Amino acid sequence: MSDIIALSLPFFGLIFLGFVAGKIVRLPEDGLAWLNIFVVYIALPALFFQIIAQTPLAELASPTFILVTTFSTLAVFVLAFGTGMLATRGNVSESTIQALGGSYSNIGYMGPGLTLAALGDSATVPTALIFCFDSILLFTLIPSCMSFGRGQHGGFLETLWSVFKKIILHPFILATIAGVIAAAMSFSAPQWVDQILNYLRNAAAPCALFAMGVSIALRAVKRFAPELPVLLLIKLVIHPALVFSLLSFVGGIQPAWMYTAALMAALPPAANVFVVARQYDTYVERASSIVMIGTIVSIVTVTGLLYLIATERLLPGMPWS
């Protein structure tokens, strides 16, 4: 158990340090801009590219893994959306934000840091695949649901093109594509380039977690949604249980990939839930509470999952009960 605490406490400790810094040093959120650019556009893409480029091409092709993990995210999205429709008496726009909170893990900032710390380099490829396909799924569903909820039936092709550009031009996805191409060509970067990638890779997780803590600190929580406990149950418990059970059922998946999928699904709602809510001016204050409370609760749930993995109480080939 001490090993699990030694792994999880530094991880959440970086978030806590960012949170404390954000509360003490009352700078506007714009002050995070360059750090966010470093993390999202440089450090994490470098991490994805370097390890994927060094992975045999055969390991990158796993349609079963992709289908199961993406289906699991879609299933909990639908479940959370249904919960939202009941709670809001049919408000599609608010229910869409609730569905995002119940399905969209913090796979960008927290995902790589946690999975690589817990499982090593073997977690990089499944982490990148989950990020790519979950992003494609959710950022196709969100504008579509919002357009339907607000009665905006025109400009469908324009909306579709905008969604496509945002997905395909995301630095994580571009880095993943470049890594796959490099792996196919057996490309080997010059030593000095590889060293720069190492520097960036080592900086990615600490900077991402600190920035996340600051972001949470700068967002005031004024309203708590009564459906919040149900949404967090879906996100933090049902989502990882579902994806691990389905991967166990279909079989043929490496244990490290299964554990990676469970950990990625167990992460708290991403800060993008608040960003999307603010973008559509819907459910904004309650979206902030989902992100903040979800992150706090995940300290217990994610640590518990790490304990199950480390003590072999969560075994591939059998459902998680």
pLDDT at 236: 96
Share of the chain above pLDDT 70, in %: 90
pLDDT at 118: 84
Cross-strand bridge partners of residue 269: 105
- Residue 269 phi/psi, 5-degree rounding, is -55, 140
The CB density around residue 285, as the number of other CB atoms within 10 Å, is 15
pLDDT in tens, 123-170: 888 988 898 788 888 877 887 787 776 655 555 666 667 767 767 777
- Domain ranges within the chain, ordered by starting residue: 2-310
DSSP state letters, 34-90: HHHHIIIIIIHHHHHHHHHHTS-HHHH--HHHHHHHHHHHHHHHHHHHHHHHHHHTS
- Residue 180 phi/psi, 5-degree rounding, is -65, -45
Name the helix (H) or strand (E) containing 113: helix 110-119
pLDDT of residue 321 exceeding 50, the answer is no
Buried b (16+ CB within 10 A) or exposed e, 45-76: bbbbbbbbbbbeeeebebeebeebbbebbebb
Name the helix (H) or strand (E) containing 233: helix 228-233
| Burial classification of residue 288, based on how many CB atoms lie within 10 Å of its CB (0-12 exposed, 13-18 middle, 19 or more buried) | buried
pLDDT of residue 305 exceeding 70, the answer is yes
pLDDT of residue 17 exceeding 80, the answer is yes
pLDDT at 319: 47
pLDDT of residue 252 exceeding 70, the answer is yes
Just give the CATH number of 2-310.
1.20.1530.20
Cα–Cα distance, 293 to 113 (Å, whole number):
20
320 pLDDT band, cuts 50/70/90, is very low
Pair 76, 171: CB distance under 8 Å: no
Q: What's the DSSP call for residue 32? A: G
Residues found in the chain: 321
Cα–Cα distance, 306 to 213 (Å, whole number):
21
pLDDT of residue 174 exceeding 60, the answer is yes
**Residue 97 DSSP SS3:** helix
DSSP state letters, 132-146: HHHHHHHHHHHHHHH
Cα–Cα distance, 211 to 270 (Å, whole number):
13
pLDDT at 152: 53
pLDDT of residue 35 exceeding 80, the answer is yes
pLDDT at 81: 94
Tokens found for residue 279 = 């973008």
CA dihedral of 163, 164, 165, 169, whole degrees rounded to 10? 110
pLDDT in tens, 193-210: 989 988 998 887 788 778
Q: Could you tell me the pTM of the whole model?
A: 0.79
